[in-house]
Amino acid sequence: MSKEAEAIRVDKELDLSNAGRGVWLVKVPKYIANKWEKAPGNIEVGKLKISKQVGQKAQVSLTLSDAVINIDPAEEIPRDHRLDVSVVTKQTLGVFSHAVTTTRDDPVPECEKQYMEGRIVQKLECRPYADHCYMKMKLESIRKASQPARQVKSLEKIVHNYKPVSDHKHNIEDRERKKAEGKKSRDDKNAVLDMLFNAFEKHQYYNIKDLVRITRQPISYLKEILKEVCDYNMKNPHKNMWELKKEYRHYKEDDKKDDDTTKDTMSDSDSD
């Protein structure tokens, strides 16, 4: 927090000196509100006229000033409006303001305070007269609203821009692979088993990609057969690889011992 903000003293008491004053709540069309927002603070924005006849309700009208009308001459708006009055009876509404005071010698804000400016006693709704100016303004607003947000334009020269890739290479390859696998015909189960056993005679462990390449079978069909004759390793050092079940393995422990004996004999002969 800045030092200036820390220096502000906040008066938490609400000033109710104007609580008994009656005020009007006026609703104006958007085009009038836009004009008033653009208007500087030192000009007259309009005049209210109140006329009352005996036995009738008061008639209230609003006439915008020339200064407001000429803020944007290209945007023509109605000058004269009537205000429909309704009395507030079942609600308690108020108008509040917020002010920060300063001194002449020091522009840094000193005190922050809230005020009640009055109690709303009447609601007024500002409505334009259906004259030529209003009809012209409404017609222009309807025309602007009907214009499409996107328009077709003819180009005089080639526009060089980079379009986003509609489909990536790996997605295309994946679809082609799945399509090719779907077209693979399923061979007889015994024929597939023969290919698997022949493969496992060469190596003890295979991953699924190599087995698909060797057998040329759909992966779902191949897995069904593998689950019958093979075990899937879930742990290292042969994780995610297939191995023949014990009852289907063609190598034996005796063969391994003979191989080890042969290796020892060969090493002894080499030493001689």
Distance CA 222, CA 209 (A): 11
Give whole-number Cα distances, 27 to 65, 127, 133, 244, in Å. Answer: 18, 9, 21, 86
CATH code: domain 182-246 is: 1.10.10.10
Distance CA 43, CA 46 (A): 9
Write down the domain spans for the chain: 12-131, 182-246
Give whole-number Cα distances, 260 to 193, 196, 263, in Å. Answer: 30, 27, 5
For the whole model, what pTM was predicted?
A: 0.44
Distance CA 84, CA 82 (A): 7
How many C-beta atoms surround the C-beta of residue 200 within 10 A? 21
- In tens digits, the chain (272 residues) has pLDDT values of 444 445 566 677 888 888 889 998 999 999 999 889 988 888 888 998 998 888 888 889 999 998 888 888 888 899 999 999 888 888 888 889 888 776 666 565 567 888 899 988 889 899 999 888 889 988 988 988 888 888 888 888 887 776 677 778 888 888 887 776 656 678 888 999 999 999 998 899 999 999 999 998 888 889 999 999 999 999 989 999 999 998 888 655 544 444 444 344 333 434 43
